[in-house]
């Protein structure tokens, strides 16, 4: 086999590998898009749940004349100190 | 009349041609090997079949009967429901080959005006099997050709007579079905060959413009996916911060001594609060202790 033929084979092998990588990358992109869609749905559900919790917290604090900012700030400070 | 010889690939058969024109195996009278006769071109009837005798009788079309000297090389016969082409003829036998088959099969010729094959017809499209045809004895074939204008034998009916038109239609339909099956087999073989050729054919390379558009589309798709992932991450971080603050608030509220809630506010929010409490419990944040 001549050097030219060897080089030709090497080039063909490299081209096949490139095509395989490109195909894999395309598949990964598709999977990423699907993953993004699922994450977006999850975020939406979490936001809805979190809004509900925040409303409940606000209602509870208001009913008990509690200043949440002050309390949470104290709690954060305590946590920081404890750690 | 009793005949002995090779029939349809079997090296030895004992057959009997009866007075009614039916050919039966000598050792099995209920197995009809062949019915001899033709209605006329281009009709083909599935003559050599293992039909019950009463059915065959009812289906039997009257008509001309092929004589041994009518069997010619190149003639197409319907044998056992399949199209055969006669490849060689001698005094006592003839060889015929089914469409798509490689080997010839030997059929016996009777001497009293009957042969084992039935009526013949012309094929629109003939398979190319000439290369494998080996005549048995062409000189004898030539000598057996009837003289011009020779009168048919006395045993050959001169016209078509059917006692049951419906049964004749059935025979016609069976013949057409047989031909259709042969055509399907032939076409399937052609399709298979074309499929193999297609598999060996390299698809044409896309043009540069197509390649460029595909690359741009792919880049846009990647960019969109990346930006969507970034947006999702930002949204998730905001939600995490809000959740941490809400969690801290809940812990504080649950951990501190609480006065009874104001009934008026709880009344206004009771319905919503019950739903919220259910959601909180489901989320594992614990009871609010109300």
Helical residues (DSSP H) of chain B, grouped into ranges: 53-59, 138-144, 165-200, 208-255, 263-282
Q: Quote the pTM value.
A: 0.34
The reply to whether A13 touches chain B by the CB within 8 Å rule is: no
Q: How many separate domains does chain A show? A: 1
The reply to whether A59 touches chain B by the CB within 8 Å rule is: yes
Contact at CB, B285 and A63, closer than 8 angstroms: no
Q: Are B172 and B164 in contact (CB under 8 A)?
A: no
> Which residues constitute the domain of residue A31?
3-82
Beta-bridged to residue B83, according to DSSP, are: B78
ipTM summary value: 0.72
CA angle (A47 as vertex; A41, A52 as ends), nearest 5: 135
Tokens of B51: 């039909």
Cα B127 to Cα B85, B88, B103, B181, distances in angstroms: 9, 16, 14, 15
Res B122 pLDDT > 60 = no
Give B88-91 contacts, CB < 8 A, sequence gap 24+: B88/B133, B88/B134, B88/B135, B88/B136, B88/B137, B89/B135, B89/B136, B89/B137, B89/B140, B89/B141, B89/B144, B90/B136, B90/B137, B90/B140, B90/B141, B91/B137, B91/B140, B91/B144
Would you place residue B112 in the very low, low, confident or very high pLDDT band (cuts 50, 70, 90)? very low
Would you place residue B276 in the very low, low, confident or very high pLDDT band (cuts 50, 70, 90)? low
The reply to whether A34 touches chain B by the CB within 8 Å rule is: no
pLDDT digits (tens, 9 = 90+) for B256-274: 655 544 544 444 445 555 6
* Integer Cα distance of B277 and B282 in angstroms: 8
For residues B217-236, give the mean pLDDT: 88
pLDDT digits (tens, 9 = 90+) for A7-66: 889 999 998 898 888 888 888 888 888 888 888 998 899 899 999 988 988 888 888 888
Nearest chain A residue to B236, by CA:
A43
């Amino acid at each position: 086999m001549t050097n030219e033929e060897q080089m030709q084979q090497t080039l063909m092998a490299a081209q096949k590998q490139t095509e395989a990588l490109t195909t894999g990358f395309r598949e990964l992109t598709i999977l990423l898009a699907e993953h993004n869609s699922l994450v977006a749905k999850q975020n939406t559900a979490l936001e809805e749940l979190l809004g509900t919790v925040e409303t409940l917290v606000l209602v509870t604090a208001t009913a008990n004349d509690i200043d949440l900012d002050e309390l949470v700030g104290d709690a954060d400070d305590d946590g920081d100190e404890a750690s | 009349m009793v005949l002995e010889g090779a029939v349809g690939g079997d090296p030895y058969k004992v057959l009997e041609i009866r007075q009614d024109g039916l050919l039966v195996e000598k050792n099995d009278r209920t197995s009809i090997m062949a019915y001899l006769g033709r209605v006329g071109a281009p009709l083909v009837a599935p003559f050599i079949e293992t039909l019950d005798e009463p059915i065959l009788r009812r289906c039997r079309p009257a008509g001309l009967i092929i004589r041994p000297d009518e069997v010619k090389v190149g003639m197409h016969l319907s044998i056992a429901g399949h199209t055969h082409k006669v490849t060689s003829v001698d005094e006592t036998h003839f060889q015929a080959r089914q469409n798509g088959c490689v080997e010839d099969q030997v059929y016996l010729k009777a001497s009293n005006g009957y042969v084992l094959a039935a009526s013949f017809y012309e094929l629109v499209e003939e398979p190319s099997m000439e290369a494998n045809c080996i005549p048995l004895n062409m000189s004898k074939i030539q000598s057996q050709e009837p003289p011009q204008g020779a009168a048919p034998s006395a045993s050959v009916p001169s016209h078509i007579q059917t006692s049951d038109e419906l049964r004749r239609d059935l025979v016609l339909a069976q013949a057409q079905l047989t031909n259709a099956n042969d055509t399907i087999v032939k076409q399937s073989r052609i399709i298979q060959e074309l499929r193999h050729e297609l598999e060996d054919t390299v698809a044409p390379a896309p043009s540069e413009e197509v390649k460029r558009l595909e690359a741009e589309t792919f880049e846009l798709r990647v960019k969109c996916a990346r930006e969507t992932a970034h947006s999702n991450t930002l949204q998730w971080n905001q939600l995490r911060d809000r959740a941490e603050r809400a969690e801290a608030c809940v812990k504080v509220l649950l951990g501190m001594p609480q006065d009874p809630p104001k009934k008026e506010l709880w009344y206004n929010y009771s319905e919503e609060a019950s739903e919220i409490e259910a959601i909180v419990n489901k989320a594992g944040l614990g009871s609010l202790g109300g």
